[in-house]
Every structure is written in structure tokens, then in C-alpha cells.
Chain A
Amino acid sequence: MSKRIDIMDGRLATGLRGGLIYTEVLGWIDLGHARGGDIIRLMQKINAGEASSGKTYDVTYSKSMVDGKTRLRLGKFITWRIRKGQTYFERQSIALAMMMTLSRKFENFQHSFPNNLITDSGFSGEDLVSDLLGFYRIMTCINLFPLLKPVSKEEAQKRWDYYGKIGSWKNETFKPLLFPDPAIYPNPQPYFGHLPDIMRTITPYKNWESGNVGIATANGNFMQLGGEAML
């Protein structure tokens, strides 16, 4: 659940690991979501599976929310069974499909009772597109922020004040939700923009008929109290 105080100066984006910025290309971005650490771990699991013995390997990918003090962790997970021998491009494609599948399930989990009583974060306008940015930051290994045209803190706050908190603007797609500058456009309304070309270079895996990828756990839930995350 992003708050107005989370808004940061877009010029600092390349040095930040958390906070909220507004970009002209992707709209609001939650830098914590856009870090991509989960994508690094997911690709490590897939690559380790390809190097393992056996004909297939299982890859589990999870998303969770954690209580800062008690370390109670609640979350969702999926496990896909993959036949060995996938090319690097196919591995990226599988990772993207897993990320997109679980991100929607997790946002739905946050959007459902009773979680929606304590957070408006489920399908919050910036969540899914920030997850996608995290994926491409890892896959491209380049600094994407100059392409995204981040704006200053004052410009971002102007949009927040005009349109209201981003948590009340829901976005169930991975498309950017853009908020035109109210000082320039009369009677402006949010609209869906287009992803930049570099964020469309990998397509989510869909060659299900091949039998190379199967679903072992379609919609798992987990709860863990303390300790290192097991999923």
C-alpha cells in the first residue's frame, strides 16, 4: 500500500532500492517490486534444474508478505515441472510466465477478504508493471530508468494530489497506467500506455502442447513463522 510519503525524486531512481516514483513511460513504479531479486532466484533455480540429473526438475516460485517484527510470512506459490533441455530463451520465457501467473494470484490474494481490510495494495495501479520492470532489469542487465523518463518528486506529488492515491486505481494487467499532467491537460483521465519495445522482447511461455512444461502445484498457499523462507 503506497503512501504519499513514499514518493521519491525520480532522479534518484538508479540509486534507490525502495520507494515510489512516477515515470512518463510506465506510470507509477514501486521500486521495491521492481528490484528483481525474486527473478534472479527464479532463474538460478531453473538453471540449477537444467544442470541436475534426471529427466525433469521442479521449480517453485513464491510471493509473500511479512510482518516486520514477528517474521510471520503469508504467501502464495506455484510449482512447475520442466523437462530438461530448455534453451536460455525458453528458460526466460518460462520465468516470465511463472512471474506473470503468480503475480496475478498474489494480487488477487491481497485483494480478497480478509487481506483487503488491512491493505488496498491488491492490484494497486503500480504493482504488476513494477514486477515486469523488475523482470526486465534482471534479464537485460542495463539501466532502464533513463528510457522510462522519471519525473521529479514535486511533479509526482502533483499527480498524486490530483488523482488520489495509486492504491485506489486498480490495474489487473501488465500495461502501464498513465496519469497525464493535470497542469497541461484539461480534465485529464488515466489511460493505458504501451510498454517500451525493450520490455516486450520476451514472450511468456505458452507451448503447453509440447509437454515440456507441466504444472505440479497450480495455486499453493503457505504460512511460515520465522526463520529463513523455505519456498
Chain B
Amino acid sequence: MRFSHKVMLIVSGLLVAGLISVWPYVQMDFAESARYTEKDTRQYEFYTPKLLKNMPRVTKNYGFSFSNVAGPGLLIYELQFQGTTDTSQIDRYLEQHGYKKSSTCDIQGDCWTGPEPKVSLSVGIIKDPGTLIISMVKEP
């Protein structure tokens, strides 16, 4: 095989390998929504905001989601804990990170305001089935 052909083959191989490794990230970038757990490492690292990553795990049964809502132009990051309605650990964590509980809230639970004015945070509390829903909404 001529040297130039070998070089072409190697370059093509590298390009294909590069595309294969980047493709999941392209897919995640264009995805309008995702549901995943902490074990789905690639999605967990790609979508999850730091505040949710470090949130105390109040039960062992929890999962994450991401939604990109066209129209309102919202990015919504959510963490759901099943099997509890006790918000005390989460409340303490949010207070430590500079969040303050709002007097009114548009959902059943508590709304919090923090250092970023375009980011709203809420902790939905559902009694049956016992569930906590922590939502971070990035407004346009």
C-alpha cells in the first residue's frame, strides 16, 4: 500500500472514531428531554446542574430529568425523590447555598429564590404517593 493511502486510511479511521465518540453528545445537545439516573454517567454529567448533583440524597429511590420547552423557551432540570415528603435536609442545603423560601408558590410545595434572578427553584411536595420534586427552571 502506498504511503499516501496509509495516511488517508489512518485519517479516515480517526475521523470516524471521532464522530462515533462525539455523536452521543450531539444527540444529547439536540434532545428536547431526557430521563436518567445517576448511573447513566454520560447524561448525568451532561445535563445535571451542580446544585442538583450535590443535593442530599434523602431517599435511595431517585431520578433526574431534563426538558427543553420550546415556546416559553424554558430549560427545566428536575430531581425526584420517591418515598418521602420530608424536606428538612433539602431546606437546609438550599439555605446554605443562599436560597430563600418565597412567601408564595405556583405549585404545591415551596418556591425558592436564589442568587441568579433568571433561575427559579421549587420543591414540590406530593403526599400520595410520597414524592419530592426539586425543579430548577431557567427562564429566557
Contacts and interface: CB of A to CB of B under 8 A. Distances in A.
B69 A5 contact: no
A33 interface: yes
Interface residues of A, number: 44
B108 interface: yes
Interface in B81-140: 106-109, 118, 122, 124-126, 128-129, 131, 133, 135, 137, 139-140
A161 interface: no
A17 B72 contact: no
A30 B76 CA distance: 12
A65 B70 contact: yes
A12 B118 contact: no
B68 A68 contact: yes
A158 B97 CA distance: 41
B131 A38 contact: no
B71 A127 contact: yes
Contacts, number: 119
Contact of A33 (B33, B65, B71, B139): B71
Contact of A12 (B33, B133, B140): B133
Given A62-B140, A63-B71, 9 more contacts: A3-B32, A5-B33, A11-B126, A15-B125, A18-B76, A33-B71, A33-B72, A66-B73, A137-B106
16 contacts: A1-B32, A5-B35, A6-B35, A6-B67, A15-B109, A17-B78, A18-B137, A32-B67, A32-B72, A38-B71, A38-B72, A64-B73, A68-B66, A69-B29, A118-B30, A228-B140
Interface of A: 1-3, 5-6, 9, 11-12, 14-19, 30, 32-33, 35-38, 62-69, 73, 75, 103, 106, 110, 118-119, 121, 127, 131, 134, 137, 143, 228-229
